Amino acid sequence: MGIKKTLGLGIASAALGLSLIGGGTFAYFSDTAQSTATFAAGTLDLNTSPSEIVNLSNLKPGDIAVRNFTLQNSGTLDIKELKLASAYTVTDAGLNNAGQDLGDHFKVKLLKDTYVSGDITNFVIGEISLKDLKNTANYDLISTGALPGGIAAGQSKVFKVAFVFVDNGQDQNVFQGDKLDLTWTFNAKQGLGELK
Q: Which residues bind Ca ion (CB under 5 A)?
A: 92, 94, 96-97, 174, 178
By beta-carbon proximity to Ca ion, the closer residue of 106 and 159 is 106
CA distances (Å), 114 to each of 35, 69, 109, in order? Answer: 29, 14, 14
- Is residue 1 classed as helix, strand or coil in its secondary structure? coil
Rounded to 5°, the CA angle 140-144-145 comes to 120
Instruction: Determine the residue type at 46.
Output: L
Least distance (Å) between residue 174 CB and Ca ion: 5
**Closer residue to Ca ion, CB minimum distance, 21 or 85:** 21
84, 144 Cβ separation under 8 angstroms: no
Nearer to Ca ion, 78 or 178 (CB): 178
CB of 148 to Ca ion, least distance (A): 39
CB of 178 to Ca ion, least distance (A): 4
- Give the whole-angstrom CA distance, residue 23 versus residue 1: 59
Q: Which is nearer to Ca ion, 105 or 157 (CB)?
A: 105
Compute the least distance from the CB of residue 162 to Ca ion, in Å.
Answer: 24
